[in-house]
Structure formats: structure tokens, C-alpha cells
Amino acid sequence: MRAFRRSWAVTAGLALYMGLSAAASAQINPFRGYGPGMSDEDLRLLGEATNRLNTRENAVVGGIEAWRDAQSRGGGTATLKRVYQWRGMPCHSISYDLLFAERAESRKRYYTLEWCRTSDGAWKIRD
């Protein structure tokens, strides 16, 4: 159950980050209360890494974008695992290796999200 909550939190956090303005997303952090959390800056950096992978011309499987927040000591990578079509939309499967650092202990988490580009050009998490 706890793994499901963390997975949901990452999905919700990325969806919120990608779908809201910077000001709005800075006020929302769904990771609080789910064990190690991500700061607003962590979310911003993770979102930027995802955007770079999704918007790269001729995206290639195996492409990696790294991010690191010196203040929170959080960081990780986003790796493009698959490029495919779904319901006529170009889609990417992106795996995330995230390091949550709090106090002296660090914890790693792994997630995979499916992203598709909608007709208006926006990348959204596939349902």
C-alpha cells in the first residue's frame, strides 16, 4: 500500500507540475506525508528533465536527463525507455530513478510514467 501511495504521489506531482503554472505548482507538494518528500525545487527540476526528454527532436530510446538540487540533496535521472503510438498520439515511456535525501539517510525510488503528446502539443501523463 505504501508503494502505491508513493507511486501515486510521483504521478500526481508530475501531473501537477506539468499542468500548472510555476506559481501554482510551487504552492502544491503532494509528496508531504509520503515518507521522504520532494521540495518545490525538486519538482521543478524533475519537470524540466521530463520536458527535455519529451520535447527532444528525434527522441532516442536510452536518452537520459539528470537533475540535482544542491539544497535538498535530492536528484535523479529520467530515462526514455520506449517511443510508441497510442490512439494516434506519439508517446514516451520514461523511467525515473529518484534519490530522496533527508538528514543523514538517503532513499532511492523508481517509477515509470507514460507520457503522450495531445493534439494541442502538450505532453500529458497517459491514463
Mean pLDDT by 10 residues, the chain (127 residues): 43 48 38 59 93 92 95 92 96 92 68 94 91
Q: Which residues contact 11 (CB under 8 A, 6 or more apart)?
A: 111, 113, 125
In the prediction, which pLDDT does 26 show? 38
- Report angle CA 39, 44, 46 to the nearest 5 degrees: 95
Provide the grid cell at 16: 501537477
Domain limits, the chain? 2-125
In the prediction, which pLDDT does 51 show? 95
- Report angle CA 15, 60, 77 to the nearest 5 degrees: 50
In the prediction, which pLDDT does 125 show? 92
